[in-house]
Amino acid sequence: MKKTSAMSSATSDAPRRELPHPFVILFFLAILATLATYLIPSGAYERTTNEQGRSVIVDGTYQLMDSTPIGLLDFFNALFQGMSAGSSIIFYLIIIGGTFGVLRQTRAIEGLVALILRKLAGREILIIPIMMVFFATCSATYGMIEGSIIYIFILLPLVRRAGYDAIVAAAIPLIGTAIGYTGSFLNPFNVGVAQTIAGLPLFSGMPFRILCWVILVSLSAGYVMLYARRVQANPLRSHVHDIVHDTAPADGGDAPVTAELNRRHLWILAAFAISLAVVIYGSSTLGWYLKEMAGMFFLLGIVTGILGGMRANDIARAFSNGCKDMMEGALAVGLAYTIVVIVQESQTIDTIIHFLSDIVSGASSTLASLGMFAAQSLMNFIVTSGSGQAALTMPVMVPLADLADVNRQVAVLAFQFGDGISNAFTPTAGWLMAGLAIAGIPWSRWMRFMLPLIVVLYGTCAVLVLIANQFVWPAA
């Protein structure tokens, strides 16, 4: 411990350029989006409401409109509008932070970490594939995304005690969830919406999608495991070794925090497990979303404090401190939503969709399928919501697929691949920035870690799109 601390101190004394804060990155992107409104003409498609009650684009109805660029005052108003648009996620994350503030105060997590490490002694690396498969399954089936962030609180002390770094703790839920979306086969929010708009049987083509899911999850888990092994062998090879004290104890003392599971801890962990089971069941079966999930976690925070023998004032203070710890990540969500507000208010988002559709139209079947994948990938940097992107783009992509002799299943596959991968690295994904803030990882360092995997995933998905277009779902 002393050796590591000395090493960290020596590193911190060395001159280095300060990394941009996540707020700086998002604010800069919002400025770029604002400047783009002076270059990109305004335009709009006609929209109609489909049988599911969703607003969808009517293909072939795009028309140019008078430009409505975002002015200086409008820009700062958009910051407030972004916070307002993301308010449900923001308050959900704040409540999550408060609940985990109470949970950390009981030290039940430390006791659980100690138990897991004893059981997996010498095999700690198995935590990575087991948990990534869990997150990928949850997102591929019922569409869990924001809910995965809470696990970073648990994984941080676990991976640190195993000799890994904060990037591993963040990668397990963030990459696992994003890849689950990428290869999803039962997710109602991306595949379900896209297939409905495309007029395909709901969740059809599942065998090939499951195969894609297995391939993508295997590649991602293998990459994270290789990185974890490298950091364990040499902590200086961590991308965050100079800014995150991975071996620091949770309470800031000089020795690692150790805790043995006692009866109170077992009751607390049981309550936590029951709450997660209820949330999973409610969101997958009862249509629960952020409001109901936040209510369950608020209740969990109170129950945790009571089971931990805490007084009411102690619970309130722990909850408040937890909310403060989550504030940076929560506000990052609002800043990410600001960019969406800007392109919507300026009426440039339909122009971008029209431009991307022009790239795809008139190409051969092979090029068109790859073009759809590229177009959907670019679109996800602006619209990170799977159902939102499907509603915007699929009404345009479906007729283009028909004209280019591309099976509609391939068009849906190109959409879900484009929608999923960038969720693991685009700064406009509020849930990602919130997760990185929890783990204390600058986005620039996350990108340094992600870049090789990004190349592998995009290349693999391009190959899978071609295979699907040529062999699995060839056009009739």
CA distances (Å), 2 to each of 5, 8, 128, 227, 257, in order?
5, 10, 28, 24, 15
DSSP assignments along 280-310, one per residue = HHHHHHS---HHHHHHHHHHHHHHHHHHTT-
Helix ranges (DSSP H) in 166-288: 166-182, 193-197, 206-233, 263-285
3-state DSSP call for residue 49?
strand
Strands 55-57 and 43-44: unpaired
What is the spatial distance between Cα 155 and Cα 73, in angstroms, rounded to a whole number? 42
The Cβ of residue 199 has, within 10 Å, a number of other Cβ atoms equal to 8
DSSP single-letter state for residue 182? H
Highest mean predicted confidence (pLDDT) among 11-15, 25-29, 414-418: 414-418
7: pLDDT strictly greater than 50: no
Angle at 208 between CA 205 and CA 214, to 5 degrees: 135
The Cβ of residue 473 has, within 10 Å, a number of other Cβ atoms equal to 20
Q: What is the pLDDT, as a whole number, of residue 300?
A: 92
**pLDDT, greater one: 445 or 257:** 445
Tell me the mean pLDDT in the region 117-125: 82
Q: Confidence band (pLDDT; 50, 70, 90) for 177?
A: very high
| Type and span of the H or E element at 176 | helix 166-182
Q: Confidence band (pLDDT; 50, 70, 90) for 18?
A: low
Q: What is the pLDDT, as a whole number, of residue 54?
A: 59
Q: What is the pLDDT, as a whole number, of residue 16?
A: 52
15: pLDDT strictly greater than 50: no
Highest mean predicted confidence (pLDDT) among 47-56, 352-361, 409-418: 409-418
Query: By the 8 A CB rule, do 167 and 449 touch?
Result: yes
407: pLDDT strictly greater than 50: yes
Q: What is the pLDDT, as a whole number, of residue 223?
A: 98
Tokens of 65: 């409109």
220: pLDDT strictly greater than 90: yes
What is the spatial distance between Cα 277 and Cα 201, in angstroms, rounded to a whole number? 30
3-state DSSP call for residue 407?
coil
381: pLDDT strictly greater than 90: no
Q: What is the pLDDT, as a whole number, of residue 282?
A: 83
Highest mean predicted confidence (pLDDT) among 168-182, 263-277, 348-362: 168-182
70-92 pLDDT per residue, tens: 999 999 999 899 888 878 878 88
Q: Confidence band (pLDDT; 50, 70, 90) for 353?
A: confident
What angle separates helix 72-85 from helix 87-106, to the nearest 10 degrees? 50
Q: Confidence band (pLDDT; 50, 70, 90) for 246?
A: very low
Strands 47-49 and 43-44: unpaired
Dihedral angle sign, alpha carbons of residues 216, 222, 227, 232: positive
Q: Residue 398, CB half-sphere, CA atoms under 13 Å: how many? A: 18
Tokens of 103: 């949970």
What is the spatial distance between Cα 277 and Cα 124, in angstroms, rounded to a whole number? 25
Q: What is the pLDDT, as a whole number, of residue 330?
A: 78
Q: What is the pLDDT, as a whole number, of residue 3?
A: 41
413-466 pLDDT per residue, tens: 999 999 899 999 988 888 898 899 889 999 999 999 999 999 999 999 999 999
Q: What is the pLDDT, as a whole number, of residue 52?
A: 59
Can you give the pTM of this predicted structure? 0.72
Tell me the mean pLDDT in the region 130-145: 85
Tell me the mean pLDDT in the region 214-235: 97
Query: By the 8 A CB rule, do 101 and 243 touch?
Result: no
Tokens of 468: 């699907």
Q: What is the pLDDT, as a whole number, of residue 214?
A: 97
Q: What is the pLDDT, as a whole number, of residue 250?
A: 38
Q: What is the pLDDT, as a whole number, of residue 53?
A: 63
Mean pLDDT for the chain overall: 84
Tokens of 67: 């430009």
Helix ranges (DSSP H) in 308-348: 312-345
